[in-house]
Amino acid sequence: MRVPRSLTLASTGVFHKMWRAHNREFVFAHDSEKHYYLNALFHSYSDHFKNCIHVHGFCLMGNHTHEVGRLIPQVNGGLKTAVKALGDWMRNAHSRFGMGYNIRHNRQGKVAYDRPKTPEIKDEYEVLKTMFYCDANPVRAGIVAHPGNYKHSSYSFYAYGKKTSYTGHLRPPRGYLSLGKTAEHRRRRYRQLCDLYLRQEGLIVDVPDEEGVEGVASPLDFEHMLYGLRIRGQPLRS
């Protein structure tokens, strides 16, 4: 039995969305299909949906996608309205991509395995950890040696400020904004933290000197550095 999102996202409203292709088919194997998906996702992201949902980040793999975002219920009719907007947006985007994919490949039937999973993220620290998890996916898969070499994620937007027609829709989470007072400081700290996360996961061995953090001696320092951040502003759910 499916649990309604109004219950699973009731605590914070922050979600890690995962959408997998039917039978784990590599529907996103080619760059062009990744662009078709992002076009469908953000062309469907109307002002109504932007008022109810903030998108923080994304990463597209060969047979699944990741997106991190949050509901904004406090100014848009409450949690029920925001949850409905999330469902409507996903249906619109996925239907647009699925129909186009079938036409392009002369096929019929399901493109997605099931409705997207949207587990809740509990706090701002976990938002950053989830974004690092998504950034690390192409490294885990052996596609690239580092997230900075992967074109189909939001890593380069947060790490280097690189803008595309897709990243222009992103809203940085409060955890990211707490990384520094200037854009360059935030980007450098994001790169440092992501590299430490990769080390902790055993995905890279060394952090380059120019990105290093003074006093960092082991991957466990990722946890100390992350949870040492002071996130100012309102609580996660006001």
- The three-class DSSP label of residue 92 is helix
> What's residue 11's pLDDT?
87
**E strands along the chain, which residues?**
14-20, 53-60, 64-71, 120-121
Domain range list for the chain: 5-227
Calculate mean pLDDT across residues 99-118. 90
Closest CA to 4 of 70, 69, 80, 68: 80
For residues 78 and 5, what is the distance between their CA atoms, to the nearest angstrom?
13
For residues 200 and 76, what is the distance between their CA atoms, to the nearest angstrom?
39
Percent of the chain at pLDDT exceeding 70: 87
Q: How confident is the model at residue 113 (pLDDT cuts 50, 70, 90)?
A: confident
* Residue pLDDT, tens place only, 29-85: 999 999 999 999 999 999 999 999 999 999 999 999 999 999 998 766 788 899 999
> What's residue 120's pLDDT?
94
Which CATH code fits 5-227? Answer: 3.30.70.1290
Record the tokens describing residue 161, joined without a space.
Answer: 């400020």
For residues 172 and 68, what is the distance between their CA atoms, to the nearest angstrom?
10
pLDDT at 238 over 70: no
For residues 19 and 163, what is the distance between their CA atoms, to the nearest angstrom?
24
H or E element in which residue 17 lies: strand 14-20
Calculate mean pLDDT across residues 170-198. 94
Measured over the CA atoms of residue 223, residue 227, residue 228 and residue 231, the dihedral's sign is positive
Calculate mean pLDDT across residues 146-157. 97
> What's residue 236's pLDDT?
46
> What's residue 66's pLDDT?
97
pLDDT at 218 over 50: yes
pLDDT at 101 over 90: yes
Record the tokens describing residue 2, joined without a space.
Answer: 């499916």
Cβ atoms 182, 86 nearer than 8 A: no
Q: How confident is the model at residue 121 (pLDDT cuts 50, 70, 90)?
A: very high
Kindly report the pTM of this predicted structure.
Answer: 0.88
